[in-house]
Structure 1
Amino acid sequence: MDWLLAPPDALNASLLRVELTAFLRRHGAGQPDDFDDAGLIVSELLGNAVEHAGGPIWVTLDWSAPRPELIVHDLGAALDVEELALPDADSLRGRGLWLVSRLAADLAVVAKRGAGKRIHTVLPVTRRVEPSFDPPLRQVNPLPGLDEAGPDGFGRESFLRALVVELARTAENGHGPAAAERMVAQVGATVGGQMEQEYRRAREVVGRLTAEQVAECYLRLKSAIGGGFHVIAVGEDRIVLGNRQCPFGDTVRRAPALCRMTSSVFGGIAARSHGEAVVLLDERIAVGDPECRVTVLLGAAARANPGGHHYRDGS
């Protein structure tokens, strides 16, 4: 889940804290004090960013592991968490991050390659057991149609239309708090699978895609919809890509959750040829990084990595 704090002021920080802590209570397990501590950590990190960053603030809650990771991106100066100490009793500043370092299971500050920093921390609650949605690729009436592809693959209009249609179709059949998870999983499986089939037809590829072919498939489909992806590295167990231009344009900065579409498409294509895949969104234009950096782990490397977004072969 992603949010852009706009404008980055105390009121919006307070509203986001309420939304985040309510989400934790709906889906989490633990003692009441655990949720109070989590809410205090969220409040202090958002308050610190509002006071010191002086610009846009992006917030991500990643609950792919048992405990949720909170990530706050801003354009302010980095700091050294090793130097955090309890302020003097008469000091009015400096208590927030020191308190977070005592309440959170982990606290790390990473300087961005461009400007600003990312603050990572793990909140002291665990997630309740919930249904897992990893749907198979639909075999009936896939979208977009293969006859819509041009010389360089599918165009942006076909891609976005298929996205909207699949979201609406899945939403009609879904209900309850897990509906959004179903929609993202099904859209990624269906649209990404059809784009893979178009690549196979164009290249006359049958059987398992090599890592190099998976990377070529990624570039083909992303360039066709207006992305600026390029390959940084390809190996037997991973593919690393960069991207200088988001297909959604500047709009993605106000809706960072759109990055999950890249994850779903990349992960599904890789998993169908390598059995299992993990997608790591290392850097994202959507949260202020100079470009996107995406790592796709394949096979055994994916099984050994507990983080990121996991995908399995459902064909």
Structure 2
Amino acid sequence: MEWLLAPATAAAASTLRGELTAFLRRHAEESDVVDDAGLVVSELLGNAVEHAGGPIWVTLDWSASRPELVVHDLGPTFDVGKLTLPTGDSVRGRGLWLVSQLATDLDVVAKRDVGKRIGTVLPLTRRVERSIDPPRREVNPLPALDEAGPTGFGRESFLRALVVELARTAENSTGPASAEQTVAQVGATVGGQMEEEYRRAREVVGRLTVDQITDCYLRLKAAINGDFYVISADEERIVLGNRRCPFGDTVRRAPALCRMTSSVFGGIAARNHGDAVVLLDERIAVGDPECRVTVLLGEAARKNPGGHHYRQHG
């Protein structure tokens, strides 16, 4: 789940802190440490509001047993190794030091252009819930194969399919992860149809090779006005960069749409290599200058506990 604070005010941070804490309380196995987790959220948001001076993106990823909280901002970075308990009556720096004591794996990474990414793992475990890795629907797939042009499906067909499938899935979705679940379902369905279009255009039969999967990714993203390029590709992983989001600047106000890329890429990779994990390493949606997406294949995916996991259905 993801949120954007713009403008990033103390009041907006307080509201989000309450929403996040309530979500953690509903789904955590341990109720006695939820307030500690809420304090971590409060301190990281407060630090960003005070020092960033711009928009703040917040992500909560609970795909593993413990939730990972990530805060992106455009403010100055700091060195985690130098966090110490302030002496005397000083309060500056006390909040981040407290975060380092209550949470684990506190990590600060400077963005390539401006700003930073602060990530930490909250001291909670989640009750077991149903998976949101959806199978591709085989009935009435959208868009139709005949709508593809010389370079693949165009933006109009893609966006129409997006809206239709979002509405269809939302009608049957409940729970706090419904938005992300909806986008994942749309990606699984539309991505599968895009793979079929690619196979027809390239006259491919059987399992797609790594080079063909990479070519398929580039083809489908170029058709919807993305600007993806290959950084590296081998039998274990495909790494792509992207200079332009197909959704334009709107994606900064709806970072959950990045799950579309994850679901499309992960579904295609899993259908051809059994298992796949998609890591959204950098995203325009949260203030990075470009996107960077890593797709792990087969055994490499099975060994990786993070990211978004996909498997071959049927």
Q: TM-score range by the shorter chain?
A: over 0.9
How many angstroms apart in 2 are the aligned matches of 1:230 and 1:190? Answer: 24
What does 1:1-315 correspond to in 2, within 5 Å?
A: 1-32=1-32, 34-177=33-176, 179-315=178-314
How many angstroms apart in 2 are the aligned matches of 1:163 and 1:252? Answer: 14
Question: Matched residue of 1:73: which SS?
Answer: strand
Instruction: Structure 1: give runs of 5+ residues left out of the alignment.
Output: none
**By how many angstroms is 1:2 displaced?**
1.1
Letter in 1 for 2:145: L
Question: Matched residue of 1:39: which SS?
Answer: helix
How many angstroms apart in 2 are the aligned matches of 1:306 and 1:248? Answer: 29
**By how many angstroms is 1:88 displaced?**
1.4
**By how many angstroms is 1:287 displaced?**
0.6
How many angstroms apart in 2 are the aligned matches of 1:181 and 1:9? Answer: 26
> After superposition, what is the alpha-carbon deviation per residue over 1:217-275, rounded to whole angstroms, capped at 9, x for unaligned?
00000000010111111101110000000011111111111100000000000000000
Question: Matched residue of 1:206: which SS?
Answer: coil
> After superposition, what is the alpha-carbon deviation per residue over 1:283-312, rounded to whole angstroms, capped at 9, x for unaligned?
000111010000000000000000000000
Letter in 2 for 1:55: G
> After superposition, what is the alpha-carbon deviation per residue over 1:155-207, rounded to whole angstroms, capped at 9, x for unaligned?
01100111111111222333444544542332122100000000000000000
Letter in 1 for 2:49: V
Letter in 1 for 2:73: D
**By how many angstroms is 1:57 displaced?**
1.1
Q: Which sits farther off after the overlay, 50-59 or 294-303? A: 50-59
Q: Closer, same or farther in 2 for the Cα pair 1:111/1:181, shift >3 Å?
A: closer
Q: Closer, same or farther in 2 for the Cα pair 1:70/1:195, shift >3 Å?
A: same
How many angstroms apart in 1 are the aligned matches of 2:192 and 2:281? Answer: 24
How many angstroms apart in 2 are the aligned matches of 1:134 and 1:214? Answer: 20
Q: Closer, same or farther in 2 for the Cα pair 1:155/1:27, shift >3 Å?
A: same
Letter in 1 for 2:127: R
How many angstroms apart in 1 are the aligned matches of 2:76 and 2:174? Answer: 43
**By how many angstroms is 1:139 displaced?**
1.8
Letter in 2 for 1:16: L
Identity %: 79
Instruction: Structure 2: give runs of 5+ residues left out of the alignment.
Output: none
Letter in 2 for 1:253: R
**By how many angstroms is 1:135 displaced?**
2.9
**By how many angstroms is 1:55 displaced?**
1.5
Letter in 2 for 1:72: V
**By how many angstroms is 1:87 displaced?**
0.5
Q: Which sits farther off after the overlay, 75-84 or 297-306? A: 75-84
> After superposition, what is the alpha-carbon deviation per residue over 1:66-121, rounded to whole angstroms, capped at 9, x for unaligned?
00011111111111111111111211311100111111122111111111111111
Question: Matched residue of 2:104: which SS?
Answer: coil
| TM-score when normalising by structure 1 | 0.97
Contact 2:187 2:260 in 1 (8 A): yes
